[in-house]
Amino acid sequence: DVKVTQSSRYLVKRTGEKVFLECVQDMDHENMFWYRQDPGLGLRLIYFSYDVKMKEKGDIPEGYSVSREKKERFSLILESASTNQTSMYLCASSYPPGQLQETQYFGPGTRLLVL
Amino acid sequence: GIQVEQSPPDLILQEGANSTLRCNFSDSVNNLQWFHQNPWGQLINLFYIPSGTKQNGRLSATTVATERYSLLYISSSQTTDSGVYFCASWDSNYQLIWGAGTKLIIKP
């Protein structure tokens, strides 16, 4: 079975702190994604990566950065956390579109609270 | 770009009832998918269904690509079916475009 793991299920941070969210997948997927999910707003794409050291901005990249030094690991970084970044963060991975199993596999999510 | 709309936004049913969730999309797609998010937040893929009909136990899905809609059927609902159901489709930039979801509550 595909496994996508995230470093924390729940996280509480203070405004201004630097926050690292880590995601690891074991399926050798090329593509990895970070979303945030807020009530009434659905899933919104923050960043995605289609290869090691490659990254692309999604719909809402402001206030975030990412790092992909190894194929299996994709990190989301909040350089200076703010209260409006309180949210559920979901990581996903997939093969590139056009290959079999064109779907995304999700981690369990990280609920981040910024005080 | 592709837009995805789901209906109804909310659905409350008694255990044992059947339900139909609908997904309309604004442009021709060939890679429609259905996901379920459980109350604890875990998202899993239910169906990859660009066209035709697929069945998996009590769940089935039908996509009519020429008419730009897909339906998810849940028969004999159980409380474990509760959660949010999303449909999504890849766009030309290799990003998944998500519907807003249908929140399903199954009462015992």
Contacts of B44 in chain A (CB under 8 A): 106
A25: CB partners within 8 A, 6+ apart = A2, A3, A4, A5, A32, A72, A74, A91, A93, A105
A67: CB partners within 8 A, 6+ apart = A74, A75, A77
What are B58's two structure tokens?
Answer: 């009590």
The CATH code that applies to domain A4-109 is 2.60.40.10
Helix (H) or strand (E) holding B30: none
28-87 in chain B: CB under 8 A from chain A: 31, 33, 40-45, 48, 86
| pLDDT tens, position by position, B59-92 | 999 999 889 999 999 999 999 999 999 999 877 7
B69: CB partners within 8 A, 6+ apart = B22, B23, B24, B25, B63
Residue-level pLDDT, tens digit, chain A, 115 residues = 769 999 999 999 999 999 999 999 998 999 999 999 998 788 999 999 989 999 999 999 999 999 999 999 999 999 999 999 999 999 999 887 665 556 889 999 999 999 9
* Per-residue pLDDT, B90: 79
Bridge-partner residues for A111, per DSSP?
A: A10, A88
Looking at the complex, report in whole angstroms how far the Cα of residue A51 sits from the nearest Cα belonging to chain B: 13
What are B19's two structure tokens?
Answer: 């339900």
Measure CB to CB from residue A102 to each of B41, B90, B95 and give the nearest one: B90
Q: Is B1 on the interface with A (CB under 8 A)?
A: no
* Residue boundaries of the structural domains of chain A: 4-109
* Per-residue pLDDT, B38: 93
* Per-residue pLDDT, B58: 97
- Which domains occur in chain B, in start order? 4-103 (2.60.40.10)
For residues B14-40, give the mean pLDDT: 90
Between B82 and B2, name the one with better pLDDT.
Answer: B82
* Per-residue pLDDT, B28: 66
Looking at the complex, report in whole angstroms how far the Cα of residue A111 sits from the nearest Cα belonging to chain B: 9
A84: CB partners within 8 A, 6+ apart = none
Confidence of residue B47 (pLDDT cuts 50, 70, 90): very high
What are A53's two structure tokens?
Answer: 């050291």
Contacts of B45 in chain A (CB under 8 A): 103-105
With b meaning 16 or more CB within 10 Å and e meaning fewer, what string describes A48-86?
bbbeeeebeebeeeeebebbbeeebebbbebeebeeebb
